[in-house]
């Protein structure tokens, strides 16, 4: 989680395993594409920085954040991945839609993590406004995509 005390893109590089023999699936929501595209860019660059080959990073898109659950499940069933990363962005609006989507995605990914043979990394930004999302997709708090890539590498070696 990004706070004034923690930047999402900062980590101890010496603690990261080599990812050159790993394969990753990434499911990214098209909704809030400027945000999710920046998250995706951060995740891919960080995976490659730690040795993942571009041909071993498979990206699928889904229309919105709720569909990340289905996309991740399909990757788990059919992909042969060492880890799957989900990337999405839900920004609070004037209706309870925000709460339903955030709760649903969180519960769905948690369920997949307890029933799957591989880790699914939770990269859903849940922010109150656009600025908070921008701050967390490459802004002043770093990039959640970087953090998710590091988590995926570490959990694949768990």
User: Could you give the residue numbers annotated as active site?
Assistant: 97
Cα distance between residue 79 and residue 43, in whole Å: 18
| Cβ neighbours around 1 below 10 Å, total | 8
96 Cβ neighbours under 8 A, 6+ residues apart: none
Nearest to 137 by CA among 14, 44, 9, 17: 9
The helix or strand, by DSSP H or E, that contains position 88, with its residue range, turns out to be: strand 83-91
The full length of the chain comes to 158
Cα distance between residue 120 and residue 82, in whole Å: 9
């Amino acid at each position: 989680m990004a706070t004034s005390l923690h930047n999402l893109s900062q980590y101890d590089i010496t603690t990261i395993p080599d990812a050159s023999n790993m394969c990753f699936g990434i499911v990214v929501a098209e909704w809030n594409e400027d945000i999710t595209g920046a998250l995706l860019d951060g995740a891919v660059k960080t995976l490659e920085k730690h040795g993942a080959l571009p041909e071993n990073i498979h990206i699928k898109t889904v229309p919105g954040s709720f569909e990340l659950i289905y996309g991740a499940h399909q990757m788990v069933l059919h992909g042969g991945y060492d880890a799957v990363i989900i990337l999405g962005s839900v920004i609070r609006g004037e209706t309870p839609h925000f709460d339903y989507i955030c709760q649903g995605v969180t519960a769905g990914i948690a369920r997949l993590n307890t029933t799957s043979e591989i880790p699914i990394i939770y990269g859903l930004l849940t922010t109150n406004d656009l600025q908070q999302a921008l701050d967390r997709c490459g802004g002043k708090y770093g990039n959640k995509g970087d953090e998710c890539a590091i988590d995926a590498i570490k959990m694949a070696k768990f």
